[in-house]
A and B are shown apart, each in its own frame.
Chain A
Amino acid sequence: MDKPATDPLAPIINALATAEQILISNTRGASASLVSRLHYTGGSVAQVAGAILGLEAPVIATGLVLFHRFHLLAGFLEHSIKDTVAGCLFIAVKLCETPKTAQSIAAAVEAACEDPLATGSKPISRRNAKYYNNEKLNTIYTTELQILTTLAFDTHVVVPYSLCLEYLSALKISDVSDREILANRAWGYLNDSMKVKISILHQPNAIAVTALWLAAREADIEILEGERWWMIFDVDTEDMGHIVLLLRECKAIAIGERERVENGLRCSLTVKDVTDRILEEANA
């Protein structure tokens, strides 16, 4: 059988978007900037819903990598963010062997949609999972299959969290409190990076290293002064630069979207919301 030999690096390599795929994904009705915002919105909803479900960050991130991959290939005008987030989380809990029922995921996503950007403006009310009968759950089951077939059942997802901690310990930072600060801040950057398209543009090792680099810079902690230490982890300086930029863009989107919500505008969660948003942009 004509099958390429397994890449020895496969365990740490993710499937990535091609330039052409990015180009196409930005021309499906929504502008490139809106597409990035919608990716962010999905990322935020998933993390809020994941927190309600008590999922660990790597599990939510697994769902989010699937979410970004799916929307690279499928438009926001055909599939509502609310549904695809639920579908991706539903697949992620199965992949990570952290079982949750479709009912509880549907309920958590529904609740998360009340405050999708986690502004804390509204208290999130928990939904009763029993409320979701089979008919209502059909959406989540259908979306799950749509996601799996759209992604050719390639569910191999590597998230950067454990890599990041491994790198941190490999760097042998002597000061314990420095180590702790770095771990916490890097973790935060990883969570941010998962909200936007970074995981379909860069490999997990580059994301992990950049999170550490940013954490060190922010906390004013020197990691191997004067050395390009990220090279040990096979990370190109150029990649890091791009990830830093994407994270900055993520922050700008976060502020912009939050302002919209504070001004009483709806967060774009459904196909109708996205249509309205496109019209709104066209009129502006």
Chain B
Amino acid sequence: MDAKKRSRWRDEDEDTELMEKKRQEKEKKKKLKQEKKAVAAAAIESKTGNKIATASQSPKISNDARPSDLRDSGLKISDEGILQFNAPLIKSCRSVENYERLNHIEEGTYGVVFKGRDLVTGEVYALKKLKADKNQQGFPITSLREIHTLQQITHPNVVGIKELVVGGSLDQIYIVMEYVDHDLRELMQSIREPFLQSEVKTIMRQLLSATQYMHSHWIIHRDLKTSNLLISSGAILKIADFGLARTYSDPVKPMTPLVVTLWYRAPELLLGAKEYSTEIDMWSIGCIFGELLTNKPLFDGKSEINQIKKIFDYLGYPDSKSWSGYNKLPHAKNINPPKDRPIPASLRSHFPFLTSAGVDLLSKLLQLDPTKRITASEALKHPYFTEDPKPKPPEEFSPFPTALESREHVESSPGAPAVAHGQGGNDAATGLLTDDEDEVEATRILLASPAADKTGLFREGAQGGAGFQLRFG
């Protein structure tokens, strides 16, 4: 991006050239220095009887032809066998004291977040304190996944991770992340009026672009929702909170269906599917799309069962014809479509101001059958984004209210399932149970839903999969 910006200015181009020359000179000097060091190291090692390779000891094959790719990327090798790759360094965490604590942002379920300023650069970051509970199988696997995922991803629409720092004791660990002013949920509540179509398109495109990137890097987010989408004052969207993210494989391996915050949870997860993939993120994006258009959550269920009911009432009840494999889902046989159910209204009628291309995209995101759901890369090519009104450039968004003003309006929204977050429940008790071992727990929670016996969605006395019996009064 930098290079593109610079090329607009001719004289800066020349500057770059000059800088490049200087850099090369520096590199040469550095290389020389490193070689000297390597020689010294070799000398020391040979004194202590530790063998080290030299050119003459290598297999007797001449060295003229050079491999290209790695070398071009800046790979350096000293002559003495201690190798200087373009590899990252092995290094330790810095201290949290490198940051000046500014103010407290929030204390969520999963840790404390505060604003901090880098004492050297003056840049402001968000510091999130990690909870390290020694009684739950050490450092939480979910945090390891989150850190690893964030370290692997570099995308303008994914929140950046700078480093991890430590406090005075070992259990004080902070993730240093890019500071972003708003989250989408809080922002939507403070603006009170839905976004313009052109603005929705910009937000959706950024969301889809980041999602496409994640999915192509074998990562499923598993908790996309408006409160996990940060948005800067310059209208740049950043996906955050990778606490539930996981790498997936093809073919898929079983994982826990207890992921994604209820309102954004795909129907296959609600029905207990354990073999699922990137489609669950696409469902969440469909829900977010609907929310952006109306400024109201699309399906605000109060329990798992209530959530399924809301979805099916809205989109129609599936069967094995409309959704192949539906009957094989663990909880599908317990779904009892109400006899006098009204024929669901068309999507169009819910969104009178949306163009037909917009309705088409929404309907493709909200496909009950995950195999029919649109993928992120397909969605990005959807005509909705090229027809008028065109997506509004981020810099043309009208200024957002300041974070403090808007935070006062924030209402509570449900969180992601605690079990998957490694807090309470079976998965957490050991922290290490495989994702596929928590079915019993999932069932227990599903059944404990307060609205269960009122919806009448499940057949009376129906037999469940995991040896439990449903009893409704």
Which residues of A are interface residues toward B (Cβ below 8 A)?
1, 3-7, 9-10, 13-23, 26, 31-33, 36, 69, 72-73, 90-91, 93-95, 97, 99-102, 134, 138, 140-142, 144-146, 148-156, 200-203, 228, 231, 234-242, 244-246, 248-249
Contacts and interface: CB of A to CB of B under 8 A. Distances in A.
A251 B71 CA distance: 31
A242 B81 contact: yes
Contacts of B151: 153-154, 156
- Name the residue in A144, A146, A249 with the highest tally of chain B Cβ atoms < 10 Å from its Cβ: A144
Contacts of B66: 236
B77 A238 contact: yes
Contacts of A237: 58-59, 61, 63
Interface stretch (B133-141, B346-354, B380-388, B392-400): B133-141
Contacts of A13: 85-88
A83 B375 CA distance: 46
B453 interface: no
B77 A239 contact: yes
B83 interface: yes
Given A36-B50, A94-B432, A99-B432, A241 B57 contact: yes
Contacts of A240: 58-59
A31 B48 contact: yes
B82 interface: yes
B89 interface: yes
B171 A1 contact: no
Contact of A94 (B40, B51, B78, B144): B144
A142 B171 CA distance: 9
Interface in B32-88: 34, 37-38, 40-41, 44-45, 48-53, 55, 57-59, 61, 63, 65-71, 73, 77-78, 81-88
B315 interface: no
B63 A101 contact: no
B430 A241 contact: no
4 closest Cβ contacts across the A-B interface?
Answer: A241-B58, A242-B53, A99-B432, A16-B87
Interface of B: 34, 37-38, 40-41, 44-45, 48-53, 55, 57-59, 61, 63, 65-71, 73, 77-78, 81-93, 132, 134-135, 137-139, 141, 144, 147-148, 151-154, 160, 162-164, 166, 170-171, 173, 178, 430, 432-434
26 contacts: A6-B152, A15-B87, A16-B85, A19-B41, A19-B78, A26-B48, A32-B44, A33-B49, A94-B141, A95-B144, A144-B138, A144-B139, A145-B171, A148-B173, A149-B164, A150-B93, A152-B92, A154-B151, A155-B144, A156-B148, A237-B59, A238-B63, A241-B55, A241-B58, A242-B52, A242-B83
B92 A150 contact: yes
Given A6-B154, A23-B40, A145-B171, A102 B137 contact: yes
B445 to A, nearest CB: 21
Contacts of A101: 137, 430, 432
Contacts of A69: 90
A19 B82 contact: yes
B37 to A, nearest CB: 5
A148 B77 CA distance: 29
- Name the residue in A73, A95, A99 with the highest tally of chain B Cβ atoms < 10 Å from its Cβ: A99
B38 A19 contact: yes
A236 B77 contact: yes
A89 to B, nearest CB: 12
Nearest to B68: A234
A245 B53 contact: yes
A133 B445 CA distance: 29
Contacts of A242: 52-53, 58, 81, 83
Contact of A238 (B53, B73, B160): B53
Contacts of A19: 34, 37-38, 40-41, 78, 82, 84
B160 A1 contact: yes
A228 B93 contact: no
Contacts of A202: 83
B92 A151 contact: yes
Given A22-B41, A101-B430, A201-B83, 14 more contacts: A15-B88, A22-B82, A23-B44, A26-B45, A101-B137, A101-B432, A145-B170, A149-B164, A151-B90, A234-B71, A238-B53, A241-B55, A241-B59, A242-B83
Contacts of B173: 145, 148-149
A1 to B, nearest CB: 4
A101 B82 CA distance: 38
Contact of B65 (A31, A36, A231): A231
A228 B60 CA distance: 11
A245 B56 CA distance: 12
A20 B170 contact: no
A99 to B, nearest CB: 4
Contacts of A150: 92-93
Nearest to B42: A19
A7 B74 CA distance: 11
A9 B73 contact: yes
B116 to A, nearest CB: 14
A18 to B, nearest CB: 7
A17 B433 contact: no
A26 B153 CA distance: 35
Contact of B85 (A97, A203, A238, A244): A203
Contacts of A14: 87
B138 A141 contact: yes
Contacts of A155: 144, 147-148
A203 B75 CA distance: 11
Contacts of A32: 44-45, 48-50
A54 to B, nearest CB: 14
A152 B132 contact: no
Given A146-B170, A238-B63, A21 B58 contact: no
Contacts of B65: 228, 231
A140 B85 CA distance: 33
A241 B53 contact: yes
B348 to A, nearest CB: 41
B67 A236 contact: yes
Nearest to B164: A153
A1 B180 CA distance: 11
Nearest to B130: A153
A151 B434 CA distance: 26
B59 A244 contact: yes
Given A19-B82, A203-B87, A100 B138 contact: no
